Amino acid sequence: MRDDLGTAYDGPRPVTRVVSLVPSLTEALASVAPERLVGATDWCTHPAGLDVTRVRGTKNPDLAAVRALRPDVVVANREENREIDVRRLRAAGVRVWVTDIRTVPAAVASMERLFAALGWESPEWLARARGLWCGPLPAVTRRVVVPIWRDPWMVVGADTFTGDLLRRLGWPNLYAEPRHNPAGERYPKVEVAALDGAGADAVLLPDEPYVFTAADGPEAFERTPTELVSGRLLTWYGPSLVEAAAGIGR
């Protein structure tokens, strides 16, 4: 079995000791075998009450703590985690499985490969996610923009999992389009006046990575309606996919 970047997994099957450096994947792994998950980041908030050793953040994991847990494999993501941390773990003899996810169907396929590589049973929610998300695209019902930070304002751009999820809800992201994002940046910086004047039907304000709230975010937009949405349902690719198909509001 090979990960999304082509690196072969040569460890035991079934895997009994996993460290996850990605919140989405932590939730996915814990849905099947929480007792085999021995480490996770401080940002791995789901499932609630997960009892594992914390190894700091996605961008600054405590590599010594990871090694001390003696994992069969560490699970990482190309976007969420730094390549240098993956290289350092591998140089220390730690196996690392790296995912690379840009679309919802790719997320489903990536997790199917991951569970197969670990020698774990594929969860029921994953089959449901394939049925809910991997069919024909729906009709467009509105166009949106999605800020992920302010001061400076940054938005979801082209070639992102979030953008594909929105497209599959029938809500295309304006900043995935060349006329709004000619350089094709994945997370461009955009002046808030330009966001407000882009012609979107709604501005979706998630609660991660920036925590937009009713008192922090909506007041910046004078022309475009705003909605507070769940960052987990908008950006995570584990069991949350089943919930997201029913709506992403908070």
The pLDDT assigned to 45 comes to 95
Separation of alpha carbons 137 and 168, rounded Å: 6
Report, at the CATH architecture level, how domain 144-244 is classified: 3-Layer(aba) Sandwich (3.40)
> What integer is the mean pLDDT of 66-94?
98
CB distance 109 to 219 below 8 Å? no
Instruction: Pick 18-133's CATH classification: 3.40.50.1980, 1.20.1260.10, 3.40.920.10, 2.60.40.3140.
Output: 3.40.50.1980
The pLDDT assigned to 250 comes to 78
- Reported as a single tens digit per residue, the pLDDT across 114-156 is 999 999 999 999 999 999 999 999 999 999 999 999 999 999 9
Q: Which helix (H) or strand (E) holds 163?
A: helix 161-169
Q: Is the peptide bond before 178 cis (omega within 30 degrees of 0)?
A: no
What percentage of the chain carries pLDDT values higher than 90? 98
**Is it the case that residue 249 has pLDDT exceeding 90?**
no
Averaged confidence pLDDT in the chain: 97
Return the amino acid letter for 126.
L
What percentage of the chain carries pLDDT values higher than 70? 100
Same fold, 18-133 and 144-244: yes
- Reported as a single tens digit per residue, the pLDDT across 182-207 is 999 999 999 999 999 999 999 999 99
The pLDDT assigned to 93 comes to 97
Q: What residue segments make up the domains of the chain, in order of their start?
A: 18-133, 144-244
Task: Give the position of tokens 């024909």.
Answer: 136
